[in-house]
């Protein structure tokens, strides 16, 4: 469903087969109108329509928002998942002092697709995305430029030199706050091999905890 959310609590979570089979079954707290945007003009038209008709407007790509901002009962939703363009450059020539490699992705491109394309390069590249395991990452710190549609329905580019205040805000103000992002450019880096080790110890013998701490903190040796 083009307006379905990942976090079902905010959509009323009705009609579950494991819940009361005699309970009321409704559509849930979903938008009543959805625009499956294919171009920036579609986004612009949707914003202008919402302004004219005093509609709540929400943006949605995948629905991954645990605060429920990608769903909204009675709203007009603009779905940007069709914006799948990906462009790579070895020497960024846009705004700012950065001149290294970069990637420009459409609003619908997910992290896995971008990482897969970068990994296929020679040498393999990487963009700092973050993952659900840690719910984090420093992608906002690597942003170089955003192409957006403003709340007034006009096109704009935000970077370090042009519209610098919105550029600063878009890098950390949360989703659906300042403008609709059509595409974004980020720094990329050469991928480096790495490895790690995880040790899990389950024990009820808490009296041995000092010995465990000593063993863990003892520097390793190489033969």
* pLDDT at residue 12, rounded to an integer: 58
Average pLDDT over residues 141-170: 94
Please give the helix or strand (H or E) that residue 143 lies within, else none: strand 143-150
pTM for this structure?
0.76
The helices-and-strands tally (H runs, E runs) of the chain is: 4, 10
185 in the same domain as 160:
yes
100 in the same domain as 166:
yes
Burial 146-183 (b: 16+ CB within 10 A, else e): bbbbbeebeebbbbbeebeebbeebeeeebbebbbbbb
Is residue 122 domain-resident?
Answer: yes
Res. 40: pLDDT tops 80: yes
* pLDDT at residue 74, rounded to an integer: 81
* pLDDT at residue 39, rounded to an integer: 97
Query: What is the rounded CA–CA span in Å between residue 112 and residue 34?
Result: 25
CB of 116 closer than 8 Å to CB of 124: no
Last residue of a domain, one of 60, 79, 98: 79
132 in the same domain as 107:
yes
User: Per the structure block, which two tokens stand in for 122?
Assistant: 């020679």
Is residue 204 domain-resident?
Answer: no
109 in the same domain as 75:
no
CATH at residue 14: 3.30.43.10
Last residue of a domain, one of 79, 109, 132: 79
Q: Which positions ≥6 away from 211 have C-beta within 8 Å?
A: none
Is residue 221 domain-resident?
Answer: no
184 in the same domain as 93:
yes
* pLDDT at residue 158, rounded to an integer: 97
98 in the same domain as 60:
no
Please give the helix or strand (H or E) that residue 164 lies within, else none: helix 164-170
44 in the same domain as 119:
no
Q: Return the C-alpha torsion angle 174, 96, 120, 195, nearest 10.
A: -70
Bond before 123 cis per omega within 30 degrees: yes
* pLDDT band at residue 92 using 50, 70 and 90 as cut-offs: very high
32 in the same domain as 102:
no
* pLDDT band at residue 25 using 50, 70 and 90 as cut-offs: low
Query: What is the rounded CA–CA span in Å between residue 190 and residue 124?
Result: 6
Is residue 199 domain-resident?
Answer: no
129 in the same domain as 40:
no
Task: Give the number of domains in the chain.
Answer: 2
92 in the same domain as 71:
no
Residue listed under structure tokens 């919402």 = 50
Average pLDDT over residues 181-205: 85
Last residue of a domain, one of 33, 63, 79: 79
Query: What is the rounded CA–CA span in Å between residue 165 and residue 173?
Result: 11
Average pLDDT over residues 49-58: 92
Res. 26: pLDDT tops 80: no
């Amino acid at each position: 469903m083009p307006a379905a959310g990942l976090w079902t609590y905010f959509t009323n979570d009705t009609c579950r087969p494991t819940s009361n089979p005699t309970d009321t079954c409704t559509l849930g707290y979903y938008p009543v109108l959805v625009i499956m945007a294919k171009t920036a003009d579609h986004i612009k038209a949707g914003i202008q329509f919402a302004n004219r008709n005093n509609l709540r407007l929400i943006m949605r790509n995948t629905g991954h928002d645990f605060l429920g901002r990608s769903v909204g009962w009675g709203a007009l939703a603009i779905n940007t998942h069709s914006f799948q363009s990906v462009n790579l450059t070895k020497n960024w020539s846009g705004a700012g002092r950065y001149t290294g490699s970069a990637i420009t992705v459409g609003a619908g491109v997910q992290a896995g697709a971008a990482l897969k394309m970068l990994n296929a390069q020679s040498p393999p590249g990487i963009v700092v995305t973050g993952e659900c395991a840690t719910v984090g990452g420093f992608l906002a710190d690597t942003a170089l430029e955003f192409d957006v549609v403003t709340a007034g329905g006009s096109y704009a580019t935000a970077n370090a030199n042009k519209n610098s205040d919105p550029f600063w805000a878009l890098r950390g103000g949360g989703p659906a706050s300042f403008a609709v992002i059509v595409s974004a450019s980020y720094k990329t880096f050469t991928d480096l091999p790495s490895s790690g080790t995880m040790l899990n110890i389950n024990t009820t013998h808490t009296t041995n905890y000092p010995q465990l701490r000593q063993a863990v903190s003892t520097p390793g040796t190489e033969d």
